Chain A
């Protein structure tokens, strides 16, 4: 078995990083983000990054850390509302931004990882998103409808957060922290994964594996996850 196990984030990224590279980073908001790998990217100082991620973190956490250090040149995202430093850099013209509808972003990554260079979707037809893109009519159950061509996305490195892995790189995600992580695992030339727990080979029921190990090249166990909550919402217990 090829060894996929590395001691930590720094070791797992060793030799993979270069200025101007494209990185996919999993997570939705701060849920399911690769905390340790983002911190290691910051420490490595690699710059002029194009980062493909649904969101851009918050000030001081998640991808917000790489914005503070000016390591990101361009973001490809669907929603970036939670980040003042992002707004400042964008309005100052220091940061490029490409907005994609969330489902289009998810599908572009899925397609890229699946060897599909483009696909047609009706999302965004008649909006700014469609400008400059090929339009094509298809006959559908509800008549002729117009679709636009969107292209697949791949990355030099994908950084992914899973809950558990085995030494073969088989992954299981937990609850809504799955989000963009499985597609990104398929779309990196090299995919580096951090997990909360490494289990012995044979522990997983093969029917329960979310991401098969073929998509994972490097793997390590992260410690002391912060898992910050963006919107802590609770309800009151009914009085007894």
Chain B
């Protein structure tokens, strides 16, 4: 089984040299710590920045410089700033290569639900619907099962969707499931150490090719 850091490191292996990448809030943010040596990626922040740098040193925080998680960050020599309209032109227009997001549910047809639980206070979808609709490749980084033990990779999402048929790859602490194209079935790519196919099948509801 992979730890959260190992899961993030596994996702980082999907980064390719020259990629423009948007990382979601939470576990996906950790991916930035594992960018492989020799792979140069530019991180996009959907509030209006390309070329996101690390957190500032204490005392150097700038309230005018935050990421989409509202965290203080820094700029790099490649950084550019732009409006939120230009930012989503990049996202919706297919100019961003990869987005790594969290999810509450993913279905085996690529549907994703990650913004709303009916009956609970809804905070909003933020940029998630635009990202899944527009970014070239969508990787979901999530725990394999919910707190009640139910599978999060399902035959169909039960929660309101964020996007339909948009997910390309799921990386959980147990395995990597991926498909070569939208519309294709998911296939088992890799098992985490100590996990075999039988364990994975017991803990998974959605269909995948072994």
Contact B48 A103 (CB under 8 A): no
Contact A234 B57 (CB under 8 A): yes
Interface residues on A, range: 35 or more
Q: Specify the chain A residue showing the minimal Cβ separation from B122.
A: A99
Contact A79 B123 (CB under 8 A): yes
Surface stretch bound by A, among B2-10, B145-153, B160-168, B189-197: B160-168
Contact A127 B66 (CB under 8 A): no
| With known contacts A106-B83, A233-B55, A31–B70 Cβ distance under 8 A | yes
User: In chain A, residues 122-150, which have Cβ atoms closer than 8 Å to a Cβ of chain B?
Assistant: 122-129
Contact B123 A102 (CB under 8 A): no
Q: Specify the chain B residue showing the minimal Cβ separation from A121.
A: B92
Chain B 122-158 against A: per-residue CB contact (8 Å), 1 yes, 0 no? Answer: 1111111110011000000000000000000000000
* B45 lies within 8 A of chain A by Cβ: yes
Per DSSP, chain B at the interface is loop
Interface residues on B, range: 35 or more
Contact B125 A78 (CB under 8 A): yes
* A208 lies within 8 A of chain B by Cβ: no
CB<8 Å pairs between A and B, sample of 24: A28-B48, A28-B70, A28-B84, A77-B124, A78-B126, A79-B125, A82-B70, A101-B127, A102-B46, A103-B88, A104-B88, A104-B130, A106-B83, A122-B133, A123-B134, A124-B129, A176-B81, A178-B81, A178-B82, A228-B63, A229-B72, A231-B71, A233-B73, A236-B57
Residues on B close to A: CB < 8 A? 45-49, 54-58, 60-67, 69-73, 75, 81-85, 87-88, 91-92, 111, 116, 121-130, 133-134, 160-165
* Shortest beta-carbon contacts, A-B, top 7: A103-B88, A126-B164, A103-B130, A81-B123, A79-B124, A227-B63, A101-B129
